[in-house]
Structures are given as structure tokens and as C-alpha cells.
Amino acid sequence: MNRSFDSYFGPPSQPINVAEFLQQANSELLSESFTNASWEQLTPEHRNAVEAEINESVVFQTSSQSLDQVWDNPVLSAHVRRQHESTVASVRDQADVPAPKGRKRKRDIAPEGSESTPEVLQLQEELDAVNLRCWGLTVESALCMRAAKNSDYNALDAPKKMGTGILHTLDHGDVGATRSSTPDSLRGHSPDVNSHPNAIISLTVYNRITYLPSCLTRSSQYAVLSTQTLADLLRVLPCASSNIPIEVLDAEGDVSGYNVTDQIGEHAGCLFCIEDLVYGDGRETADYAQKLIAHFHKLPEDKRPQIKTAPTSASETTFNALTLRTHQPYWILHQGNCEHFFVIDQIRHAPFRFNSIKSLNIIYRLPHASDPLSGYPLMLHLTPTVQDLCRACGKVPAVHSIVGDMRLGESPCLLCAPCWRMMGPPKNDEGVMVVPLVIPFVNH
């Protein structure tokens, strides 16, 4: 059931033309004199009430340390985690919910005296002083609790620069903030009309589950610039199909080995299907888009998808030229039959902060000091890869698949490099083939 829930998307938003979104964002900011019209229409009493609610809702507003500092401190982070696990266990007991399947985790017990240290006591006092109560877990929360899955974890400890895209933003000298009664969190800034800022598009990539082809699982998440192309996105996708070694054929055309140094790469064709338009790879011969349309023409007319070939290829099409919908899955096909799906999570207008466009209902903001100015697309999330362990030692991931070796008792047999070296060369190596396994994406 959890797998099925992860494969449902939507409801999708209205179609958003990225270029029109950028143009409208600039024009509306200029026409509204960089203030929030809805805020100016409120009465002073209503403004004070909203400001009071915002101030009470800010966690750690008067704290002596930030959330990052708490998580970087092993003593404080362990205390927060134990408090959360205790709350979750209490909610489960009250709701009489069955315990999660699998091996029961050992309850983390605090070392003696660690809960009474001054820094832990100060942190707990600050947490107890927070007036926000809507995030507390109630008995009904047990209905939405589940054990963590592999796709919930992030293999990256920081956003990873995957490309060469540069974020164009406004310098502080070119931005003049208006002074009004609008709070800082709702106040906009004056844009430079001669500047051409980017839109930052956050998207998530999903793959089919091998043993459940009808279900999807999250693979990775990215932040791309509106000036980048679809091919720029495809180039940074971690995909085993793009890392398969090239087969070496003998005189009779049979596979005699594999060339580890040469891989399939990104030259085996691709297509993107976005809003009933197919963007192919742009090859002079029949590209993937033309082949897909030709395949659909073989279907009965009543079952034929109503899609058309786009006028530009994936390497020529920037996100600025697209009309997208958030929470709508779009299809990627490459390397023959390797499929991915990507979903637009958010479209942000890079150089402005916290003003909403009424017609599009999109949030855009100023870049934060921690936002990289180069290296786009940025990889924000990467699901850890589950690798097969060596069949001999059972401790480390396998890197070789040995085919036809009678000493191993099974064919193919997955082995790590040290175990295969310890085995030594077979006495009769005819028919024995060492197939290198695809090395998963690694955060260098």
C-alpha cells in the first residue's frame, strides 16, 4: 500500500509557461510598487494579530543556537532524536497500532548523566517555551506513520554541483528595498529592469521498481535553471543503463568480454514526453521521437495516444520554452528501454523574495547566502543504492559477475575484487567470463 501511495501524483496545477511566468513576475512587482497589496488592505488590528502569530510560530526565535548547530552537536541531536522516538512510541501505544514489520530496533537509551548536562537542559527549556502546538503528534497521527524506506534517506550530505549552469542574480547595489509597514517576510525588493534572472525549477526523478513495475520510487532530486536544456537534465541522471560496459565480440559475433574503460554513455538516443509533445535526440537518422510516433501509428486509432513531435530536440529545448504543470509526471526514455519519470515540485523566481503571483500561485524568493551561484543542475537528493553483496565473504558489495567457473558452484556468481583475486585464475579459462558490474553513482 505504501508503494502505491508513492506512485500517485497530483492533482496537477494549471499549465505554467516558464517564460511568461518570469515576465509576469517582473511586471507585477513593478506595478505593485514592490509591496504586498493584500497586506496593505488589512486593518492595523489584523496586521498586529498576523505578526503576533508569525512571531509565535518561529521555532528557536530567541534560541541561543540555530537548528544546524543542534544537529551538528552529537549530544543535542541524540537528545532530540530520543525525545521524538519516545513520543512516537507513546502515540502508537495509545492508538493500539501494530508494531512495524521487520527486525525490532533497540531503543536508544541515554548514557547516565547525559540528560542533565547544562546544554541539554537549556535546549529542552527552549523547546518547551515554543508556543507552536500544531505540530504535536496526536493519536490520529498513528494512521500516517510508517517505517522509513530506502528512498527516504539521502546519500548526499550537501547539494552536489553536477553541471556548469550559473545563477544570474541581482547585486545588492542594484536592489532597493521599499520601506513600508509590510513585514520583512512579506516585503519585496525592487528589481533591475535590465536584468535577466533565472527561474529555479525543483524536480524529482522516479524510477520503476524492478519487482513492481506498476509502482515508482524516488531516485533523485534536482534544482535546474530555466536556461538549461532537457539534455542537461538527462546528462546528470544517475542511471545504470548509461554505465554498462561495451561488449567485445569475437570473429563469430559472440560476446567474448567487456571493455570496462568504454561505456554506453549518453549516445544511445533519448526522448522526453511533456504535455503531449515528444522531444527527441535530434539525430539525422530516425530519432527516438520519430520511432515512437511510428510505433503509435501501428495501434488502433481509438487506442492511439494523441501526441506530436516537438519542433526542437531535447538538446535544443530549454525549460524557458516549456509549459509545465507541477505534480504532473513526465516521461523520459533512453538507452533503448530505460524509463524515468520526473515531476516538477516547484518553480521559483530567483532574485525576489516572498511575493505571490495571484494568477499562478507560485512563490519566488531572493537567493539565500547558502545557495550556490554555479554548478547547476544541483543534485539535492540521491537515494542510496542497494548493492548485492559478495557471495563468498558476504561483507562487501560485489564488483564482478563470474560466468562459467566450475569452482564457484553457481553461474553467474557475484564476487568482490579481493575474493576473486584470492581465487586465482581458473585452470581451464575457456568459457569463463568476468563481467564487470555497473558501479553505482558515488558522491565524489
Residue 233's pLDDT is what? 93
| Residue showing cell 530549454 | 318
Those residues with Cβ within 8 angstroms of residue 292's Cβ, 6 or more apart along the chain or in another chain = 271, 278, 333
**The three three-digit cell numbers of residue 65, written as one number:** 543556537
227-to-18, 97, 168, 232 alpha-carbon distances in Å: 10, 49, 10, 10
For residue 341, list its beta bridge partners: 206, 331
What pLDDT does 263 receive? 53
- C-alpha cell, 396: 562487501
- What are the grid coordinates assigned to 129, written together? 517555551
Which pLDDT does position 101 carry in this prediction? Answer: 64
Q: Note whether 22 and 349 are within 8 A (CB).
A: yes
CA angle 183, 185, 186 (to 5 degrees): 70
Q: What amino acid is encoded at 363 in this protein?
A: I
Q: What's the Rg (C-alpha) of the chain?
A: 27
Beta bridge partners of 247: 258
Between CA 32 and CA 55 the distance in angstroms is 26
CA–CA distances in Å: residue 353 to residues 35, 165, 175, 406: 11, 22, 12, 66
Beta strand 400-403 pairing with 413-415: antiparallel
Low-confidence ranges of the chain (pLDDT < 50): 32-34, 60-62, 171-195, 352-366, 443-444
Write down the pLDDT at residue 322.
Answer: 93
Residue 138: the pLDDT is 84
pLDDT one-digit tens code per residue, 18-40: 888 888 776 665 554 445 566 77
Cell of residue 94, nine digits: 495509545
